[in-house]
Structure 1
Amino acid sequence: MAIQYSEKHTDIVNINVGGTIFVTTMKTLKSVQDTRLSGISTNSAEFIAGQNMYFFDRNPELFSSVLDFYRTGELHLPKHVCGAAIRNELEFWQISSSSISDCCVPSLFKFEDELEVTNNLRRQFETKSVDYTREQLQSSKWNRIKSVFWNVMDKPSSSKLARSYSILYMLFVMVTCVIFILSTHEYFRVPIKDHVKINETHSVSAYTYLLMQHNNNPKVALLGSSDLRPSLYFLDKVCAVFFILEFFIRFVVCPIRSDFLKSWLNIVDLIIVFALLLTSIMEFFHDFYTSKALLWLFLIGRGVIILRLLRLFRFAKHFSGLKILYLALRASFQELGLLCLTFIITTSLFGALVFYAEFYEPTNFENVPIGIWWAIVTLTTVGYGDYYPITVPGYFVGALCGMCGLLLLSMPIAIIATNFNDYYNQNKIREKQINRKKDIFNKIKKLFSNKNIVNVIHMDGIQAGSPKCNGRARTPRVHELDPASETEPTTTTPREINVAFRKAGAKVLASNRQ
């Protein structure tokens, strides 16, 4: 940028921004204080004494908006310019973003929102998992063996064996859950032939005894007085042994055992292991049903085992759709909190209203909690039909409650859908960039014939890794075959290989454009 004073009009300032001349007055520049242009003088670092000129090498297109801000006091921004460029220019000219006019604020905020979405996606998808360091792998052969087991059991995408193991793991999870579901049906259970003495002369079956002890509850009596069929029982124990061994093996081969139980999924696994051991021991001794406390402990242990389904979330990190849904829900946390608060207020209000609307009906809505239950069912458009108004005032309350439910559910769904769409679109762009880098990297690899070079691709760029010899990393100079010639391999450093890769990448891009 150059500023030149006219000899006849000393107040006129000629401003050269990136080769474009702008004419204004010093009075105009002084109209907005505490900015870069308001403080210019012949003592400024940009002043060129020989030409009586100030030079700033900036974007002339954006400077038009900056100069108009000094002239009119309103800062309007071009719609087609990236928000990052606008923010950088405002920072350079020392103009606060609060000076932007209301009509142009959304363009800057849109950029900030997109930047936040991109950063959240990067943190979510590029989170580094627990892994062995190079020093640990080089320290002992045992660590290298544990690393192989860890990659197979915790990283399904690391190899074909790991993918096969993940499929096997999911099959075990599904089988054990199916067994749990079938175990509640009497067809898949066989009764225990034990009898319980109720006095010195009479004894009854375990099923009858449990009915007597638990108010004729057939569910408690069935689960407490019968076992699984032998085939299902054997399959269930095989699954139990598999999960127990799998948990302890993963704990042994984990690179950082102190971080192992910091994962909530590993804590769930530990609870399930204890539940499996507890129920197996209690099933070995068939007389646990004689004690109510032991029976309830057994039933709770069996119920905890259904948490096995949560094991499938261990593989959720390899499915982008689940991660995007999680990010969308987290971005809508405030809206969901407002929904819960509004829902509590609305259900309490309509619960009380329907109670008083049906006040003269002695058998309908006996108290407000029943009215709140009816309001919850009505607002969520479920409508069980166990409670409903039967008077004219009750009909009006019910109709109003139903309409409020439609409005109450539609608003947060729209917000969550918008957030999901933002994350989904940004993730599609991110995946295209990754695939583009991988495509370039694969083409670059074809340009090099030296098989000893180990190349590593990162999400943020492409770089060459160090070669390996006999399974141990080394750092001597490596050999590179120039793809453009038939000469012998030349000795280069890894840094030179990176430079060669970048040049080759540029050639690939140029060929794609052609």
Structure 2
Amino acid sequence: MKFDEKSICVLNVGGTRYAFPAEVIRDFPLQRVSRLHTCVTEKEVLEVCDDYDQDRNEFFFDRHAQAFVFIMLYVRSGKLRFVPGVCALSFYSEMLYWGLGSAHLEFCCQRRLDDTGYSEEDLIMRAEENESSNEVDVEQGSGWLEWIRRTFEEPGSSVAAKLLASLSIIFVIISMVMLCMSTLPDWDTAKHNTVEEHRIVEAVCIGWFTAECVVRFLVAKDKLIFLCQPLNLIDLVAITPYYISMVMPGTAGGLSGVAGVTLRVLRMMRVFWLVKLARHFLGLQTLGLTLRRCRHEMATLAIFLTVATAIYSALAQLLEHSLDPNHRNPDDRSNRGGDYASIPAAAWWAVISMTTVGYGDVYPVTVGGRLLGGLCVVSGIVLLALPITFIYHSFVQCYNELKLRSARSQGAHHARPCLQHRLL
């Protein structure tokens, strides 16, 4: 690498060449370009760019040439705008590649980026997925590891993956049936009569989940990220109680105290194995993605309901109890005034009224309380309906996106063997 004061560095971006002195490269506003000045070996250079010509001191970047023209306009003028006719998300991926963020965009373009419905984390994640999908794995020895990883992580990638996913769903259903049956009053008697069968079924289910979790961990690209994923943490928490009960003494007769309560709580965590079905069903994936993208709207809705609940519960406590605590209404057959004796107690009535559930276990008996109850119900309908439109459109967008991504992934997996066959 030639980075002396008199050397000229050439950046070749998508076939367009840009020549700069070495001192300009050192202080270049784009982070990826400035990193070239700190590279010592050719290996370090190839980690920053796609190729390097040492004779001409030319660095090659296989990126969008037109997008880089607008990025260079930002370098010169300090103003960054979207490329006309280019997808905003694609241009944002180019920005992230060169080391820029949404804060560098002009305000009008930031509004355009916000209109896509994606948060900053989602946009960065999508850009990273695009980068990883464009990389070609040249290591021949890791092909079978990649096949195993895809088989366990992508249920629709092959016939083996579909069979494995179906088997996993069957074991989840069996485990959930066993969990539900264990809460029946006659379960202890049935378990005593057929203890061996129950132990065998439980051991087989736990063994399958353990083997699946271990294999997925061994073939994972990043072990730390694997351990931090919520679904994998649920697997670990759900499997652990079985092995704890195997090694702890006195478990057969039932543990008591804090240890027994903790173990029973951890066993009940098996119900979250149903969340594992999100790997196999597009609807559950859509629900999770929608909740993640609409978390700000959901938080706003929760704040609205919390404030309204506090107001209505305080007014209900005042009208039903505080104004005349010794008065008993003839219709108040079960001492309803006690249900409004405090604001926290009246909050239950406010919640079930605003959500229009209306169990009927708590209701106002005074004229003022009933008028307040009607206002509480109507305002609850309005508050709940405010974010519904946005959440609905976000759900439809997430569903179409995941469906298209799944179709592209399956098409790519099916097309790759055909392409290799043609090349051979």
Q: Same fold (TM over 0.5)?
A: yes
Hey, what's the Cα distance between the residues in 1 that align with 2:407 and 2:280?
24
Higher RCO (C-alpha 8 Å, min separation 6)? 2
Structure 1 position 127 matched with structure 2 position 93: no
The structure-2 alpha-carbon separation of the partners of 1:235 and 1:415, relative to structure 1 and needing over 3 Å to count, comes to same
RMSD, matched Cα: 4.5
Aligned twin of 1:301: 266
Structure 2 residue 167 is the aligned partner of structure 1 residue 168: yes
Unaligned runs of 5+ in 1: 1-81, 89-95, 99-104, 193-225, 446-450, 456-463, 469-514
For 2:207, the aligned partner's letter is V
Alignment of 1:205-224 (within 5 A): none
Change (3 A) 1:300 1:282: farther
1:425 CA displacement:
6.4
Shift of 1:375: 0.4
Aligned-pair CA distance for 1:302: 1.6
Paired residues in the alignment total 311
Q: Deviations over 1:437-473 (max 9, x none)?
A: x79x98xx9xxxxx99528xxxxxxxx9xx46xxxxx
The correspondence for 1:244, drawn from 204, 210, 222, is 210
Alignment of 1:192-231 (within 5 A): 229-231=195-197
Larger Rg: 1
Change (3 A) 1:256 1:407: closer
Q: CA deviation at 1:235?
A: 1.1
Identify the structure with the greater helix proportion.
2
Pairing of 1:62-461 with structure 2 (within 5 A) = 84=84, 112=113, 127=129, 134=137, 136-138=139-141, 143-190=142-189, 229-282=195-248, 285-289=251-255, 291-316=256-281, 319=282, 321-359=283-321, 360-361=324-325, 363=335, 364=337, 365-422=340-397, 454=420
Distance 1:272 1:187 in 2: 25
Q: Contact 1:188/1:228 (CA < 8 Å) preserved in 2? A: no
CA gap of 1:243–1:425, structure 2 versus 1, over 3 A, is closer
Shift of 1:244: 1.7
Measured after TM superposition, the shift of residue 339 of structure 1 is: 1.3
Cα shift at 1:155: 2.5
Contact 2:237 2:266 in 1 (8 A): no
TM-score (normalised: structure 2): 0.60
Q: How far has the Cα of 1:164 moved from its partner?
A: 0.3
Distance in 1 of aligned mates of 2:237 and 2:406: 41
Secondary structure of residue in 1 paired with 2:84: helix
Contact 2:117 2:394 in 1 (8 A): no
Task: Give the counterpart letter for 2:359 in structure 1.
Answer: Y
CA gap of 1:189–1:369, structure 2 versus 1, over 3 A, is: same
Q: Distance in 1 between matches of 2:286 and 2:309?
A: 31
Q: Percent identity among equivalent residues?
A: 24
Following superposition, the deviation at residue 325 of structure 1 comes to 4.1
Give 5+ residue unaligned stretches, structure 2: 1-81, 89-104, 327-334
Give the SS at the match of 2:189. Answer: strand
Q: Measure the CA separation in 1 of the matches of 2:259 and 2:119.
A: 53
